[in-house]
Amino acid sequence: MTAEEKRNLQCYRRYIERILNPVYILSNMTDWLSDEMKERVRKEEEKGVTAAAALFLDTVLLLEAEGWLRGFLDALVAVGYTGLAEAIENWDFSKLEKLELHRQLLKRIEATMLEIDPVVLMPYINTCLIERECDEILQISEYRSKAAGITKLIECLCRSDKENWPKSLQLALDKAGYYNASELWDLREDNGKDIDGEMTDASEKCFETTMTFAEEAECDNNFSENLSSVSGMAHWPSPVYEPKKARTYQIELAQPAINGKNTLICAPTGSGKTFVSLLICEHHLQNLPSGQKAKVAFLATKVPVYEQQKNVFRQHFERSGYSVQGICGETVANVSVEHVIQDSDIIVLTPQILVNSIETGILSSLSIFTLMIFDECHNTTGNHPYNVLMTRYLEQKFDSSANSLPQIVGLTASVGVGNAKTIKETIEHICTLCSCLDIQAISTVRENKEDLQRFVNKPESHVRWVKMRAQNHFADIISGLMSETEALMRKIYSEDTISQTNKSYFGTQKYEQWIVHTQKKCRLLQLADKEKESNICRDLFICTEHLRKFNDALIISEDARIEDALTFLKEFFTNVKNGPYTELEKQLTDKFEEKEPELTALSKDESNENPKLEELASILDEAYRYNPQTRTILFAKTRALVAALKKWVEANPLLSHIKPDVLTGQGRKEYKTGMTLPMQKEVLDAFKTDKDSRLLIATSVADEGIDISECNLVVLYEYFGNITKTIQVRGRGRARDSKCILVTSKTEVVENEKQNHYKEEMMNAAIENLQNWDETTFARKIRDLQMKEKVLRDCRKKETIKHEVVEGKKNLLCGKCKAYACCTDDIRIIKDSHHTVLGDAFKERYITKPHQKRHQFDGFEKKSKIHCQKTLCQHDWGITVKYKTFDNLPIIKIRSFVIEDVETGTQMDFQKWKNINSSLKNFDEETSS
């Protein structure tokens, strides 16, 4: 090998490192590499393919033997790296360079492709991959999950040296019927790219739009031109993303954090707090003392916000060579959290991921980070994951032997006032929040208020108070059925277990709380006659479930149409008939069906229209007549109400021209009633870009952090809360002349809004007061609060150790009929959070039914639902799954059981496994098989 060839190889090594997995060619390099060196390369692959490629190149560049370069090229061709071999042979990497843009685009749309089955794509795209890559993708898909398989496929495509892989991917998506993904890939690949592969204006516009997806990272921020005033950073040219200029008020907001202080940044929604965090992060990465490696964690509380902030950080930092990765609940099963954190400069993640990683020992402490940014930091309270993390932080802080701690930056539009009624009490509330975050400075816009007002639009706020229905015979009938059901419960068991309730609580959350309390007491009922205990517990459970559904129907009828509430009840009673259908259930069903004709007539009577819906129709009709391009977010309390409002909009002649979409949270993993991350992202993208998607009906998942700059109308439909929630939801309206309208029939809600206006003024006054304190006084106050909380925390720990974990052998009894299910000796823990039961005896105690929503999660494939095998019970116990080589493995949920102490016979009701986990063993695949 000539000196020039060595220089060329060294010059172009970054291309080789991006593409080559050297492990694939080691067997073809036997003549030049020792077994020890090959083993080192294989070991290095555990850190990452790029790291292994770098070690491989370092090794071969030291070789003196003749002919190794030809051997290397032959090895590449033999394994399938024909494009890379051609580039090295001709020293022309232009074809590979043109693929870089496609790689970046594929990474950006990766989150939207997690539902795709990679096995279906393989026949159309396998020619673009190495044979071993194809095998690995198929194995991962079979033994882990399809999501893990598609993640591996995307990783392999991003390393592919075949210049036709972008078109092959397009063909594969079309042929496999994934038209949404195909359309997105087509949009990203072709729109805005000319013959030479350069980005045109259309493409720049596309990515500016993506930049505005972040809550506050508006497209007219010109970051780099003004950066020298902040940290002396240079302008970086980029064909994809052009950093924008920082506004004067944004530099003011960032300054305390840039000076190294733990900073709470409080600024209005739409002011660009995410952009401010980019300023801080950029300065931090480039100005850490030599010898120290910067590592930044950006934390977002909600998955849609996590997704958009991850995209913003990737766009901004990856062009400069920084590694940006993201982890959330939906993706954590497919990655190694430890490796992601070790290998990345910036990690965007949801806080529970970090909490779990520390609790399971994956991370020993927070000292691995040098900067932690908490988005929506006002949540740092109580048992919120933010507060759990900061408690760990403060424990390290007070441990004099602990390692250095990361700098803390909190972002929020509102610090709130808690229960404060005066400015003095508000100051105490804000200081408490600051003590939890270990804050040294509160940063708001003080010097550049005019600049802030030029860019931030504060929506007009209006309240529309509406009278309730003059009379509601539907509610009267349902309330009558509820009273009859309560009376029936007291006949079943006449003791004090079933407390009296006030009828005025029907159709309220207070009544739901009564149901939860009563159901718990019924579950723990113990009698000498165990058969009688089983029958009574089962019947009381049935009654409370019926009361719960009646209560839900009243809540739906109050805010939506009577027909929506009636449909909800009909579906429930259909499910009852398809279950065990006991004598009691038949009796309750007969009572409902006796009233059903009257309820149906009421649902069709136009005089029973909901006045709140009529007011909502008037608001929307007026808005879209005045401006057909209006973009509206309509907030509602529950998923059931969101679904009902969508049906109502579609059926209403005044509004049927508006295309409504819904955005809800993910819900409980085991039920999968909510929306997945790709579904959420698809809805948000459509609302931003699709001219036909102009109405988004959402739950609280959309009230923090999501930025939709075109939104000019926010409607709060019986949607209210404290001052923080008020500021957050009002801030979803970003466009000029936007409005925020509250629709309510409750006078107390109107009064609450007036109080929130006063509290906002009180909050602002308290912040200004605190900013006038000298640093020493503020620091002493924060330290005092932290020490008081530490004393309380230590006391709580002692109490927790005494009472929380229940030791000894336990039996699990069916939570409905008290039938014996299993004992804790037979329970095993899988992946720290899933619980299975060993032995064939347990399988005889349950029956299986088809699962309506079979899908994969956390490396498991759902197969069926399991129910108590008692004919008159059939209580839901959990699911069966395929896990690795195990088929139909039962996974049970603690809430479905009553826990009985074997020694004393005492029964307990636990909602979480952690109360008994100390006595449970981990799942051993070898012995279990």
Confidence at 445, pLDDT banded by 50, 70, 90: very high
Nearest to 811 by CA among 802, 824, 801: 824
The top-scoring range by mean pLDDT among 230-239, 308-317, 792-801 is: 308-317
pLDDT digits (tens, 9 = 90+) for 135-184: 888 888 877 778 888 888 998 999 999 988 888 888 888 888 887 777 77
Q: How far is CA 577 from the centre of its chain?
A: 36
Q: What one-character DSSP code corresponds to residue 199?
A: B
Measure the CA–CA gap between 663 and 158, rounded to whole angstroms: 31
Torsion of CA 651, 652, 655, 659, to 10 degrees: -10
The predicted pLDDT at position 288 comes to 83
What residues pair up with 928 in beta bridges, in sequence order? none
The predicted pLDDT at position 79 comes to 86
Q: Where are the beta strands (DSSP E) in 731-793?
A: 739-744
Structure tokens at 593: 């069906």
pLDDT digits (tens, 9 = 90+) for 86-129: 888 888 888 888 888 888 888 878 877 888 888 888 888 888 89
pLDDT at position 453 over 70:
yes
Q: Which residue did the predictor score with more confidence, 14 or 459?
A: 14
Confidence at 386, pLDDT banded by 50, 70, 90: very high
The top-scoring range by mean pLDDT among 323-327, 753-757, 909-913 is: 323-327
pLDDT at position 806 over 60:
no
Q: Where are the beta strands (DSSP E) in 415-527?
A: 441-443, 460-465
Q: What percent of the chain has pLDDT over 70?
A: 85
Q: Which residue did the predictor score with more confidence, 427 or 707?
A: 427
For the ranges 201-205, 293-297, 483-487, 813-817, the lowest mean pLDDT is seen at 201-205
The predicted pLDDT at position 463 comes to 86
Average pLDDT of the residues in 725-741: 63
The predicted pLDDT at position 27 comes to 84
Confidence at 823, pLDDT banded by 50, 70, 90: very high
Structure tokens at 413: 């539009």
For the ranges 49-58, 213-222, 337-346, 395-404, the lowest mean pLDDT is seen at 213-222
Measure the CA–CA gap between 782 and 770, rounded to whole angstroms: 12
Q: What is the pTM of this model?
A: 0.61
For the ranges 200-204, 332-336, 355-359, 758-762, the lowest mean pLDDT is seen at 200-204
Measure the CA–CA gap between 305 and 100, rounded to whole angstroms: 27
The predicted pLDDT at position 707 comes to 59
Q: What percent of the chain has pLDDT over 90?
A: 32
Q: How far is CA 215 from the centre of its chain?
A: 16
| Averaged pLDDT score across all residues of the chain | 82
The predicted pLDDT at position 401 comes to 61
pLDDT digits (tens, 9 = 90+) for 196-214: 333 333 333 333 323 333 3
Measure the CA–CA gap between 110 and 150, rounded to whole angstroms: 9
The predicted pLDDT at position 203 comes to 33
Measured on CA atoms in the order 769, 773, 775, 781, is the torsion positive or negative?
negative
Confidence at 296, pLDDT banded by 50, 70, 90: very high
The predicted pLDDT at position 261 comes to 95
Structure tokens at 306: 């996590």
The predicted pLDDT at position 918 comes to 61
- The phi, psi pair for 571, rounded to 5°, reads -60, -40
Measure the CA–CA gap between 925 and 929, rounded to whole angstroms: 6
Length of the chain: 929
Measure the CA–CA gap between 308 and 125, rounded to whole angstroms: 29
Q: Which residue did the predictor score with more confidence, 503 or 447?
A: 447
Please list, in sequence order, all residues whose beta carbon lies within 8 angstroms of the beta carbon of residue 846, skipping any fewer than 6 positions away: 821, 866, 867, 868, 869, 877, 890
pLDDT at position 537 over 80:
yes
Q: How far is CA 51 from CA 29, 40, 41, 156, 323, in A?
A: 19, 11, 9, 16, 13
The predicted pLDDT at position 600 comes to 94
pLDDT digits (tens, 9 = 90+) for 662-712: 888 765 544 345 677 667 777 877 777 766 778 989 887 766 656 565 678
pLDDT digits (tens, 9 = 90+) for 603-656: 998 888 899 999 999 999 988 888 888 888 898 888 888 889 999 999 998 888
The predicted pLDDT at position 709 comes to 56
Confidence at 798, pLDDT banded by 50, 70, 90: low
Measured on CA atoms in the order 683, 686, 692, 695, is the torsion positive or negative?
positive
The predicted pLDDT at position 721 comes to 67
pLDDT at position 601 over 90:
yes
pLDDT at position 564 over 80:
yes
Confidence at 8, pLDDT banded by 50, 70, 90: confident
pLDDT at position 497 over 90:
no
Please check whether residue 319 is in contact with residue 235, taking contact to mean a CB–CB distance below 8 angstroms: no
For the ranges 32-46, 218-232, 444-458, the lowest mean pLDDT is seen at 218-232
Confidence at 195, pLDDT banded by 50, 70, 90: very low
Structure tokens at 93: 């990497």
The predicted pLDDT at position 64 comes to 77
pLDDT at position 902 over 70:
yes
Confidence at 28, pLDDT banded by 50, 70, 90: confident
